[in-house]
Amino acid sequence: MKMKTDDRSNVPKVRIAIIGMSNVGKSALTVRYLTRRYIGEYRSNTDLLYKQTLSINNTLVDVEIVDVCCTSNNIEQFPEEPIYWADACVVVYDVTSKSSLTYAIDLLKTVHKLRSQNPMPTVLIGNKADLEHLREVEEIEGRTAAIQNNCSQFLEVSVAENSLSIYSVFDLLINECRSTVSSTQKTRKFSVSKMIGTLIGNSNGKISNSPSNGGTVVVCHKSDLYKSRFLKRRQNCTKTGSL
């Protein structure tokens, strides 16, 4: 079903940054939410910008998700731009890696520091719960970290398995920030989607009642997407695809 361009002018947009240490399953989580599928291997060393119109509680929402790849596990080197860009943040760790929880906690503190003037909802997700025999982080440790760092939700999941709770975490998060977002969108200083919109193609005309289609994904090198806020980045993007 297609909507007229005019009909879409009131569709709210929500931007989510997925962050966490390398190999915790950020890409797998993002693709699981948007497509309901699990894909085992993803390219690393690139940030992925997903853009999809979803129907949540019978309301359309333009959702943009940046899956921030993590080439260095040094918190000092984590790029700040996605945190300023986002309306909400999903911080992921791996229950089989204690250091990934430590990193996630550092990220949560960084998010709250950078966004102290303009707070945004954060969610903490412990992934790979299927690997019980390799577990290094107890559920209570993750939950405590989430509470201590003001996360609105905490969840242990296995993205490899199809669990409704994964979808409801995102849906709740999007609902949580939707009202705030609609009032601030008019005053945004810059827009990644506007800047690279021509690359993404005309996804604006696509309405997806099923979350498994209708989206686009742009693959960019992190430095190209975030270090500069200018359009010249366009030429450095390496690939555009559909979900």
- Reported as type and span, the H/E element at residue 147 is helix 139-148
Q: Is 222 in the site for ligand GTP (CB under 6 A)?
A: no
Residue number, nearest CB to ligand GTP: 25
Residues in Cβ contact with 190 at an 8 Å cutoff, skipping those fewer than 6 apart: 229
Pull the structure tokens for residue 152.
Answer: 């609105």
Half-sphere exposure of 79 (CA within 13 A, CB side): 23
Report if residue 116 touches ligand GTP, rule: CB under 6 A: no
Q: What separation, in Å, do the N-terminal and C-terminal C-alpha atoms of the chain show? A: 17
Q: Which of 11, 160, 172, 199 touches ligand GTP (CB under 6 A)?
A: 160
Q: Which of 9, 40, 113, 232 binds ligand GTP (CB under 6 A)?
A: 40
| 164 touches ligand GTP by CB under 6 A | no
Residue among 157, 154, 236, 240 nearest 197 (CA): 240
| Distance in angstroms (rounded) separating the CA atoms of residues 84 and 52 | 20
* Beta bridge partners of residue 67, listed in sequence order: 18, 48
Residues 47-86: x where in contact with ligand GTP by CB under 6 A, - otherwise, as a string: ----------------------xx----------------
Q: Please report how close the Cβ of residue 44 comes to ligand GTP at its closest, in angstroms.
A: 4
Distance between alpha carbon 115 and the CA centroid of its chain, in Å? 16
Q: Which is nearer to ligand GTP, 155 or 181 (CB)?
A: 155
Is there binding between residue 24 and ligand GTP (CB under 6 A)? yes
Which listed residue (5, 44, 59, 213) binds ligand GTP by CB under 6 A? Answer: 44
- Residue position matching structure tokens 């003001």: 150
Among 52, 127, 203, 216, binds ligand GTP (CB under 6 A): 127
Nearer to ligand GTP, 19 or 181 (CB): 19
Angle separating helix axes 98-114 and 139-148, nearest 10 degrees: 10
23 counts as binding ligand GTP under rule CB under 6 A? yes
Tokens of 124: 């903490």
Q: Give yes or no for residue 208 binding ligand GTP (CB under 6 A).
A: no
Q: Which residues bind ligand GTP (CB under 6 A)?
A: 20, 22-28, 40-42, 44, 69-70, 127-128, 130-131, 158-160
